Structure 1
Amino acid sequence: MTVLFTQRFKFILLILFLSVQVNGQLKKEIPKANTFSSYNYIAINNCKMWVSNNGQGSNEPSGREGFLWPGGEQANKSLVYQDGLIWGGIADSQLVVGGNYYNSFLNAGKVLSNGERDDSSLAKYRVYKIRKDWEQLPESEEKEAFERDYYEWPVDDGAPWIDTDKDGKYTFGTDKPYFIGDEVLWYVANDIIDPSLSLMHSKPIGLEIQTTVFAFNKQNAFNDIIFKKYKIINKGKHQINDFYVGQWADVDLGYAADDFAGCDTSLSLAYVYNSKAYDNVFSESPPSIGYQLLNVSGSKNPMISFTPIITNYSEYSLPHTSLSFYSILQGKTPSVHDQRDPLNGKITKFALSGDPVFQTGWYEGKGWPKGPNGGDRHLVSSTGPFNMNPNDTIEVVLAIIVGNKQGNLTQYNYLLSVMDLKDKALTVKKMFEKNFDWLSSPPSPVMHYLPLNNAVKLWWENDAESYDETDPFIDSRYGSDTTYTFEGYRLWQYSDSSGTDSVLLATFDLKNNIRVIRDYKYYNGALTDVPVIVGTDAGLEREITITSDAFSNYLPLYNYSPYYFGVTAYAYNEYSSPEYLESPVKIIKVIPGQKRIDVTYPYTDNDAVAPLQVKGNSDSRIKFNVVDPTALTGDTYQVIFTSTNDTLKYSLYNKTKDDTLLVNQEDFTAEKSDKPVIDGFILTVEDIAKDSIAAENTKYRVKSILEIKGKDGVVLSQPIDIMNNLNSTNRWQVKAKGTYKRLNWQVNQNEEGLGYDDYELRFTGTSKYYYSGYARSFNPIIKNDNLASDLLPFEVWCIGRNPESTEDDYRLAVKIWDNDRFDSTRTKPDSMWTHLENNDWEEIFAYKSSFDPADPPQTCGNSKFTDHKFGCLAISGELPDPGTVIRIVTYKPLADGDVFEATLKTGNLNDKESAKTNIDKISVFPNPYFGGNDISNEAQNFIRFTSLPRNVTIRIYNIAGVFIRKLSKDDFASYLDWDLQNEDGKRVGSGMFVAHIEMPEIGNKIMKIAVIQEKKYLNSY
């Protein structure tokens, strides 16, 4: 409609809607009911919607369209001109109607206990706006506004809140505003206004309407949805009978004069879509928009009728009396007639309930013979009837959903948007269904641990990551994901083995843009949407080292104190309800501390063992990353590479046990956190050659150019990189010339002749060669050329991937580019290899020939780009000395048949020599003992000797030398406890004691111990 009329004429048209006729004339003005309007908008996702505290919805303060999409804060394309809640019923035997229909017929503020309305100009009756992440916003006026509304949240006026301490009253600083979404608006209004200013001059009822607007910031269907929750309270003195509530909307879908309307009764959805493929605003991708009634108090079916308002179509024209208004809410036409399906003549309360996509039933266009053309459309979906006594409450929850989908055929996009709208509506509807408990949750991860000094290392197995269970309640007609799929892990610490108290330590989730998982929970009797899992979207991890205790304000872990941990796995489906399923937890007990002094390991828990390559020759970085030295087996392992269909994979094979541990792996990253721990280590494989090639422009495969032999063939102790660097005599170097400055010059022709072989220029003999003249391309290089009149002082050889083997070596034919391409005078070809004025020698090209390069024919014949192994190589400076060898080394990616091997050594569990040097690490805890310790309880007090070897005997004496107690052990534990009793089982008194620690074949140690008991006992020996 905004396209059909100017703003002035639109205002006049509104008067037509709302005025009563007087002598055939229409009133020109309607006074505003509320002159103290507060506006705010919600734009946390793809939608932007304005609301006012006087009840107006989807209308900007300036009076323009107020529901915009897409772009959130930056959205500027109209979908709705205005919408609002409307109602009608019988109060005191009189028909009353009200609500927000263009002009607002409400006042801001609540209804007081005496039945009067409060002062609407009070600042506390503004539109409040809160956002979950407001504290993370940069300092700004916007953040200050969020902070003000958060801390001034009007709980006393009805704004929803969470009773954190469960005491039934709002406690500032403890209880919090109730976040139904990521961003929430709230305001309260009432209908107590002068009847002359009310809708259709109807008398006020005494209704208070508390409105909550919320939306989610999620990268899925909910990014195009805004929710509204109306709480309607009858604070008047009269019972209201046959009370209907409706959602009205004047939809301007881009260009407003080409729209169609419809409804879907199964989804309680009323919607508007474009009547044709092209829209003047949205071009070839016009969206659709729908209003879905989700939940209505006391109503089994939220939407009981749908009536469109179609301008310039008499049967569905604009309502202009209370009766016509009420008639629409009852599911009749504005002309107070029953609606009839034009296809069968039957009475219906749901106009246009057919399917325009599949072209069934009554729908606009072909499905409505003699129906109107596309134009301006309004929606009225209603619910009821209700009988409202004073103080009764009705709650209405609805979703405003934008559908938009694009296909290959743009002429159908406007219908695809309807399909998308209904799919989203189905998803939204499921949010209100009960939680399903019939699906099995992911399996509980098996957790392992390694005690460390004041720390514990935890890791777990990856069996849960294959979890993928179908949710049969998801409609898959349009390809929606129907499975719960593994998403991540949550790591917990517990206060004890029973799991009574828990603290979430970390969440490790897949890196897939899924961060917040939400679910509906009951709070104060209301089903509430809350975040239940907040991930980091940083990728999976299965290993972590814990150094602090969550139950002691994150103080460091105490050695030899018990701690309790568990990990859960969870799966996710955005279309399911609930959105996630989580495994039960298996709690483990871990006691940190130093290892026994007679135990040594060849590796620490962070070492990496590099294997040897036993087959092939590749540039790689393969590591056996040690996680748990105590779990290493001493076995020999092989990493074996295979290739099928050009896809390289690797397997891990335990050669000692003839057991394949990993099969067909394709992860070539150094990342350890998402890989399994096997026999105490994590295997990582990097194809550094392939990565290096990919990192270079035009797939440059040359790793280095080395001088490996100098004058007279003397082998250099350290090869010298001579690519743009001087050689060992400082008299010459090698340059790569040509457009790409690459030796594999033919990549310009999409060829890669260089391959992964190495090459040598050997100044140990002479070569016949061919010369090629200048041209503006490399094509002459592959043409038929003549032999030069002289000889080159070197030979060119391909030496294969393995320089140590000569079995695959072969000699290459050579061509010289007989000119200087960068000399504007173009050096005159002389049919010889020439030293140019710029101190460079003419460029060398080498290729594989069908003839013997040692005895080439007079003419070479045409060659192929793939025959050429390298080119554009120039020696700059003097000629290399006879005997010099230059080697071109290429990157060599991992390949089929490569095998690497490593043996991971076990620890020495009886290293007496190490124990002798570490006797001083033996300690006792606590010392002094003050009536208790952090690792014991009242029923069993003790002190603990730590870092002990396997075989040990401890004799305890009092300070006078009297024998008290003998303790001994011969096991793998690193500690031994004294229960503070003597040999007779009686509790010792306070005093000083001496412990004599005897360790066979290691040595002895004497320690003093102070014991201060809570009560004094007589010593008894």
Structure 2
Amino acid sequence: MNKRISRLLLIVLIFGFMAILVQNEAFARPKYNEVSTVGLSKITATKITQTMSNIGNWGFWVNYEGQTGHDPFTGSSGGYYPRGAMTAIYMDGIIWGAYLVDPNTGIAIADTPRVGGIGYRIGTTPGWVIGEGENAVSVSAEDERVRIYRIRHDWRSLTASQVLQDAAELNNVPITGVTDAMTTAIIEQYKEDWKNWPVDLGAPYYDVNGNGQYDPVLDENGYPDETKGDYPGLAQADQVIWLVVNDLNEAKVRAHSGTFPIGLELQITLWAYNQPNNTLGQIVFKRYKLINKSGMILDSMFVAQYSDPDIGDYTDDLVGCDTTLSLHFAYNGPVTDAEYNKVNLPPAAAGFDFFQGPLIESPGDTGVFNLQYIPDHKNLPMTSFGYFAAGGDISDPPMGVIDFTLQWYNMLNGNIPTNDLNNPTPYVYRSGPNKDQPTKFPLSGDPVTDPNAVEGDIDGQGDNMGPGDRRMFAATGPFTMQPGDEQEIVVALIGGLGGNNIQSVADLKSSDIVAQKVYDNLFQIIPKPPTAPNVKAIPMDDKVVLNWGWDVDRIKDTEERKIINYEFEGYNVYQLPSATAKLNDPQTVRIATFDKINDVRIIKSSVFSAEYGTVVDLPIQFGSDTGIKRFFVVDKDYITGKPLYRGTTYYFAVTAYNYDGTLVRDRALESSPIIHAVTVQDPKPGYRYEGEPGEMVEVVKNGNDDGVCQVIVVDPTATTGHDYEIYFEVDEDTNSVTYGQTVWNLKDVTTGEVVLAKQPQSPDPAANDQLIVDGLLIKVSGPAPGIKAIVQVADDQGPLTPDEYDAAGAPFGGNNVWHSLSSPNDPNRFYISAGGGDGGIERMSRSIANAQAHDFEMRFTDAGGTYTWWYDADTAAHVPFEAWDVGILTYDDPSDDIRMLTGGYSGGATVGSFDFGYTDPAFGFPATDWVYFRKPMNDQGTYEAYENDVLSGAFTYNWWFNSYEVLARIIICDFGGAGTLPPTGTVIRWVTNKPHLLTTTYSFTAPAAVYSDDLAKVDVEKVNVFPNPYYAANSLEPDRFNRFVTFNHLPKHAIIRIFTLGGVQVRKLEKNDDSQFLQWDLKNETGLPVASGMYIAYVDMPELGKTKTLKLMIIQGEQVVEFY
């Protein structure tokens, strides 16, 4: 009896439990529960069965059976948009259908077509096809090459934060759950796939030498070197995924479509761009390559891009198509979405653009195949759009039976899903002016401009179903494939995010237009941000130095490379709250911007604003013409406003951005942040740094010119203590951008090495845009050509004496006469100004570059000279002055003096009379005719040749073409009012800016950064552990699951043994790296948390022959067992 009761109870319990399951299932989402998922395989460097396109703003799952957009971990939506926030695609794939025709008889082998592909059930098998026709077989799934391949072009330079984020996404764990094994697997897989990219199986590559063969040049480790030969990838993409599948598994095809396989190999390539904040980052491109391995003719063939979009909450979606853009899309019915609300975002929109259909013959047209133009062909467009919905009158075809094939083939032809191929039922418009009319493009209205379906057919309007759970597809065809033929379909998954559901559609369409332009030029021109700078992040005891001015090659690549019409504009410096934070996170702070001085300051671009609810011009970059600077010293926590604390880790990034002012959207593109984690700390044990960030190094100059050299410590850890010399030369390389200029070189005198060569001078001593070498910013500046002073150096009594100089003229050995009065000794005082305009100095110095640093004098003499009104008439007259080039600072050496040609313009006064008939535009005093100085180029342009020509009356002007202007529009202004020119003996000197002379040198000694074992032994006394005591938590812990204390001031190699007071060893820790820190996770050797109490830490530093013993108090917090 008891046994019977027990059995009865057991049966009741079982059925009760099953009822619960059934009840739960009844309330579960009414999706097909047969959606295929690949097992939760780990990401290892061996057989990869699943991966993710995750370099832009999409996180898009891919499995090696061919299904995409489905999460293998959750078994649910796997198209995340925005990446890491919310899902927008439940699943997507490809559906095909065709009649098979015997090539020998020309007769179809059956009355019904065959349909296959990838949907909720997957009708494909991983791997390629060997053989053809009856001999065609699928390669064994056990073949090690049957897997997914994923590459990044920047795999060699990935930072820890990038790898950490990648590992978290691919392993479906939080950042804190990423292990070293996971990050190692990511790096190793990128390396493996770059090295063994399956070009022979069909994976795309760059044919650099254009010979049609894959000829990579391998580096020393066997990896293709993209700078020297062919290499993996396509379309200038930053991340590429490739896999191959086939439909030869009859059981899978029948389970999917209820029919037999066709005999197709399908190669799938996905690619995306590392621009999560720009338009291209909202797009994942996908190429399907179909190869007919059936041995049959595939007639009346169609292919469709099929998807189940779920915009957050799957129960309230709408779909549509845009025939002008070959686009079909899904969006949220209501303005907001319950799931997107959870992440404080408006609902996104997601769609697929049908860029390239099958290639067919078409004389006179041009088609595209393998991203190359094919003449006398064309690509079929999107030929129909369709949709259906769970619970609607147009519903999912039943899987695993022939009805699926019949209904899908009707849909591929642009009809609703019925079983009657002979009498198909077309879609009809269900709203708008063409309501009830048949169409192959239902729902082709524009919900952005016509939300109420006044002009077109809009989902959710008229007789269309209300918001719900939609599927959608776009088809192309018909076309024919002969045995062995290949065809390509290129589509793009595009996301849009606006202020609400409708604005997200508009944003999607705007991005689609950009995507179409990129495709139309076959990805030859890709709008991209500049290359990210190569940043060294150097921790100090109370500062962090960010230095990106040390890598010459990277600087050139970032700043000099023009991308389409985008030109480099500036750098941004950010502090971020974590290693995986984004630039648009609320806590991220832009702490500095260094941009070019070019009047491009705040850059606005058309973006969607949730605040304003529409597309508006909003600032996206915040320059202020500060000038380029390639380092930054962080001296506080910009997030909290507090000081930087030793032992605390902070996160920084430096980005580069460019600018194209001709655009409306994406006027500026910014590189993705590479986040650097920096722990503020004292110098490592044994190290001493003599310099401080920002410290000026004493420089000794040997030369007499206006050039300036400043040496500033940027990175005290990199300074050498060596002696240096700067010297100058003229760049004689005709291919150089500095050809003919005076450039400088930096020589390490201690080693004899020239560490910088042929560097251009900066015209601005305050600029910080020169290179950083050995931890030092070397600023060498020479003044731009210009007039430094105009002084009177003599009067009719002879040279002026120092007591006759005024304050402005004294540094130049005379009395300033530029807009200032001449010597008080002069009988009729004068000043010098410039004719025209406002009388400014720029009127006089328009040709000052021709001065080449020479100085000039106007000398009033008894002999005087000749003046010609060459800008008025062929008239010349005698004047009481001469003009001379007096060389470079050689005033007392007449051997290098050259007589100048004098003449000019009357200023509107009387031609032929050099007098005060003009008026100074600056101060209004009477002024002379305008005087120009021209310097001879050769014997035909000398003063003598000039004077002979004009005094003879010939005026051939041969001298004009053999001389050149140096000074212009000089006027002598009559302040005294006597109407007389300066007396004989007066000399007015023009002193020009003096750039560096070739004989000039600078020398300096850099501060030293030194290490010694003796110092390291002394620093052993600093070895410590914090926090101590540990009281339930540590402010540096990311969460309650990661407990630790930190030992600091450790040498490279240290062994720490932790004992109880009873002498029992509970943990042994060992470090052998460059960090001075080591964390203990408060666990014993078996991985269990240690008990609260006092512990002894015995620190052994074998290389130094030193030990230290520390006491550590641990007070554990409450331990909560989650699973038992």
The TM tier, using the shorter chain, reads 0.3 to 0.5
Structure with larger Rg:
1
Q: TM-score, with normalisation over the residues of structure 1?
A: 0.45
